[in-house]
Amino acid sequence: MTIQTAPASLAASGEAADQSIEIRQFDAPLGAEVIGLDLSKPLSNADFARIHRAHLDHHVLVFRDQRITPDEQVAFSKRFGPLQIHVLHQFGLAGHPEVLIVSNIVENGKPIGLGDAGHFWHSDLSYKEKPSLGSLLHAQELPALGGDTLFANQHLAWDALPAHLRDAIEGRAAEHTYLAKYAELQQRSPWRPNLSAEQIAQVKPVTHPIVRTHPETGRRALFVSEHFTTRVIGLPEDESRALLAELFAHSTQPEFIYRHQWRERDMVFWDNRSVMHLAAGTPDDQRRKLYRTTIEGDAPF
């Protein structure tokens, strides 16, 4: 097995001065705050390498008070790899198709963004042949109440998996599909438009290993979610459903979770190969808007 040591784009950024950066680990099962970094300034190769290493070590990084433009968010995100455009392209930021608007705001009777993003536990774009490496979410407008995001460490979930579940999933794969909960979400809220035939063609079901190996660290992690995983390949439907229910319950236990309470202009960067996440919810009378970029990853193995 070949373990990658750094993104291919690491050395392609040109010259920039080092910034005074501190990585401060949270008192939680995952996550760290990056202190002293200004993403509106050019990032040196040395600083990028530190951020990259911290991302692998802690799985979720929090950058406080980032006064950056969408262009700057896109540029930083692209240093980790090519960006993916969400199938709901109608919620892309004008002039920036790589930026998904995550928002419950309605203007002129129409939602400006995806208001129920993260309603179920998931790893971003696990329904693609090449799921996301990581996602970056930048706060634009935050509610006075609610709006937290929960992250669950799937390396720890694998490490703590009971023997009977390890035996049950050994060598097995599962199907992922974007449409798994789509009809249910459409019934709940106005945020899910009818999909065109072209959009449906972009999200055909895919199969991935239930336990994936991180391509950069070699660590194993559970890779199923209540949002997108529909069945275990090769099992009868009742057995598949029961096994997935056990895995879903196990993988989101409190001892694996970091809860992020958003602050103004926070940027949060998480590793979709290592964690799942969940939106804790925002009251209907509270406005919330964030910009998300998503980096393409590798086919899971």
Catalytic machinery residues = 122, 124, 277, 292
Token digits of residue 81: 């790899």
46 in Cβ contact with 31 (< 8 Å): no
Phi-psi region of 8 (alpha: psi -120 to 50; beta: other; left: phi over 0): alpha
Distances (CA, A) of 94 to 21, 40, 81, 89, 291: 33, 20, 22, 10, 12
Phi-psi region of 109 (alpha: psi -120 to 50; beta: other; left: phi over 0): left
221 in Cβ contact with 211 (< 8 Å): yes
Distances (CA, A) of 7 to 32, 72, 78: 20, 19, 10
